[in-house]
Structure 1
Amino acid sequence: MTTISCSHQARVDIKDLRLRAYVGIKDEEINNQQDIIINVCLTYDAGEAIRQNEISAALNYRTITKQIIGHVDGNRFALLERLTHEVLSLVMEHSAVQWAQVEIDKPHALRYAGSVSVCLEAHR
């Protein structure tokens, strides 16, 4: 196999994680769960994962996804901004993550709009 020179910076995208939560301040939002769609994009140095070809050397995005589900699904948040911040904080708790962006969509939050979303990012 030919050795090539490349960046070991991996980009991981968790797309369209669909959960239900109470998000909002109006009575109907407080009393009824709503669909939300979470998208996470993150980067980490995958050099060891590439060299070892072992899950133990890689960032476990399944663990991150389970943490997000546990934190969000069925819980209450007044503001979409706060929810987005909390999910971003969960992702950044993993020391291997160098940069992350979280976007959360709230479908049908506005009349005539498909959704409203808030996007936040952080880096080390």
Structure 2
Amino acid sequence: MERMEPGMARIRIKDLRLRTFIGIKEEEINNRQDVLINASILYPAEMAVAINEIEHALNYRTITKAIISHVESNRFALLERLTQEVLDIVMQHEQVRYAEVEVDKPHALRFSESVSITLSAQR
């Protein structure tokens, strides 16, 4: 996790549960499965703090809606690809200085609660 500097805000999107086509087996290709998305986003928030208006903040609702739309309307063979595409959506916003995205695929392994991939980017 990136170190916080003064004036930076961390937005956390926690446990965003979506359904999508993820995997390479026939059953996975033909049936939607749950994925659980967590994102941590750092951006400079001095103006949002000082002025207290949405125009000066990073709009997490806009980001979340874009993630939901993309994940639910596409197909993914690999968890790595899905995770990267979600990270790309977050990084499209110029205000973002650092982002980390983790995508869990529940019950992907027989005796495991889930398997996850985490990717990050910074500017």
Distance, in Å, in 2 between the alignment partners of 1:108 and 1:123 is: 31
Partner of 1:43: 42
Deviating beyond 6 angstroms after TM superposition, the runs of 4 or more aligned structure 1 residues are none
What's the counterpart of residue 81 of structure 2? Answer: 82
Equivalent positions of 1:46-85 (< 5 A) are 46-85=45-84
Mapped pair 1:27 → 2:12: no
- In the alignment, the residues of structure 1 paired with residue 74 and residue 27 of structure 2 have an alpha-carbon distance, to the nearest angstrom, of 15
Q: Unaligned regions of 5+ residues in structure 2, if any?
A: none
**What residue identity is the alignment partner of 1:25?**
I
Q: Map Cα deviations across residues 78-105 of structure 1 (whole Å, 9 max, x no partner).
A: 0000000000001000000000000000
Structure 1: stretches of 5+ with no match in the other structure: 1-5
> 1:26-81 deviations in whole A, cap 9, x for unaligned?
00100110000000001000000001011111000000000000100142100000
Q: Which secondary structure does the structure 2 equivalent of 1:43 belong to?
A: strand
- Letter of the 2:21 counterpart: Y
Number of positions where the alignment pairs a residue of Structure 1 with one of Structure 2: 119
The CA distance in 1 between the partners of 2:19 and 2:46, in whole Å, is 36
Task: Give TM-score, length-normalised by structure 1.
Answer: 0.94
Superposition RMSD in Å = 1.0
